[in-house]
Amino acid sequence: MPRIAFISADGARREIDAEAGRSVLEIAWEHGIGVEGACEGSMACSTCHVILSDADYDRLPPSDEDEEDMLDLAWGVTPNSRLGCQILLTEALDGMEFNLPSETVNHLDD
Ligand code: FES
């Protein structure tokens, strides 16, 4: 069971023993972490935006073009940004830290 951490914009850290095979968004929902996920993982909202360290970013499979297109529209995007709904947890991702931006943009409302 990979142990991951969510770090909110105010620096609060919450460690979670996550179930492999679930997305970061699903884990956040199940544990009451403030990740909206308005489109429920269909890559249409960018409200599941998470930001990674350089080292953690390199541990993930590359994002595809659809994810990159949606990230281009996210608030506060960085070179290490990903969509939490597109990251599937595996045992190999033990120790990952997901930083949450202080704001998100919901493109479903556009
Ligand atoms: S939940 Fe909407 S893009 Fe991830």
Nearest atom in ligand 1 to the alpha carbon of residue 85 is: 4
Strand partners, 97: 5
Residue spans of alpha helices (H) in 3-59: 24-30, 54-59
Residue pLDDT, tens place only, 86-97: 999 999 999 999
Residue of 24, 27, 71, 83 with the most ligand 1 atoms within 8 Å of its CB, for mutation: 83
For the chain, the structural domain boundaries read 3-109
Residue pLDDT, tens place only, 11-58: 999 999 999 999 999 999 999 999 999 999 999 999 999 999 999 999
Distance between Cα 100 and ligand 1 center (Å): 14
Q: Could you say which architecture CATH assigns to the domain 3-109?
A: Roll (3.10)
